[in-house]
Structure 1
Amino acid sequence: MTVTLQAPIAQRPVTEVAVGVLLQPDGRYLLAQRPAGKPYEGYWEFPGGKLEPGESVEAALVRELHEELGIEVETSQRWHTLEHDYPHAYVRLYFCKVTAWSGAPHGREGQALIWQAFPVAVAPLLPATIPVLEWLEAERSDV
């Protein structure tokens, strides 16, 4: 697991987020479009959400992917941690590879979903999504 950290600007509070990188056996990955009314509306990202107080990354991942996509996570593993300073929040993102789930992902919050392969064919991408795509691409080329 790789950890990429930046120093929080002016000691801003850190928002912790569990993020699911859903992977198909053929290497495709799922991206979700941020819904209207949220910061970065219309940008594409990996699905996930904030940890609740006292909640583990794994529990948050299961809860968030059920709430957002209507799936039940069966197999996941923590993969990378990245901190990113957005204008609206300083976030610590726990990216988890999700390789098995039950149910068909669908946008339960009205968000569009798309399975992608390389090169990514949607834009704009949420800034913290770009390193994840680079990590996936690097793993793909190592095979």
Structure 2
Amino acid sequence: MSDPVLVVDGDLRRSEGPARPIVDVAVGLLIAPNGDFLLTSRPEGKVYAGYWEFPGGKLEAGESVEMALRRELQEEIGVHIGPVQAWKEKLVDYPHALVRLHFCKVYEWTGTLQMHEGQTFSWERLPVRCAPVLPGTLPVLDWLAAEQAV
């Protein structure tokens, strides 16, 4: 059985015409030795500005998920990441885009966090304190909770 598509703001109009292309996005869960994980806010000027999410960004032509994640985290938050553990994927249907999120766990990185896009950050644990959380991030929090329950 396949994982259902997460439809966000289903009452809002989607673009009509041919099927919308899927935008692939690499997403990093930076997990500290104490188990805290990094969330960042979406900067002003972006869709869902002010919502909290795991950092990452779109894959460019020819990039693997790992390559995109390395590039995006360096550009976005100023860190160089170590090994990348591919974890889960989720297809999210936002009104503005159909997005395939490739979630990866990262336990090692170097550099100091620098929010290059004017966003803010928070080290969190479950249940998260920051709000609102981007809808595509909510399944991840459930997956983390399920792992902790084992």
TM-score by length of 2: 0.88
Over the residues paired in the alignment, what is the CA RMSD in angstroms?
1.8
User: Residue 63 in 1 paired to residue 71 in 2?
Assistant: yes
Letter in 2 for 1:4: D
Alignment match, 1:84: 92
CA contact (8 A) 1:4 1:81 kept: no
Give the CA deviation at 1:106: 2.3
Matches of 1:131 and 1:40, distance apart in 2: 17
Structure 1: 5+ residue runs without aligned partners? none
Letter in 2 for 1:107: M
Kindly provide the CA deviation profile for residues 33-73 of structure 1, in whole angstroms up to 9, marking residues without a partner as x: 00000000100000000000111000000000000110001
For 2:135, what is the secondary structure of its paired residue?
Answer: coil
| Residues 9-18 or 96-105, more deviating | 9-18
CA contact (8 A) 2:6 2:92 kept: no
Matches of 2:118 and 2:3, distance apart in 1: 31
Match of 2:132 among 124, 132, 137: 124
For 1:24, what is the secondary structure of its paired residue?
Answer: coil
Residues matched between the structures, number: 140
Identity of aligned residues (%): 53
Identify, as 1 or 2, the structure richer in strand.
Answer: 1
Structure 2: 5+ residue runs without aligned partners? 8-13
- Answer with 1 or 2: which has the greater Rg: 2
CA contact (8 A) 1:70 1:105 kept: yes
TM-score by length of 1: 0.92
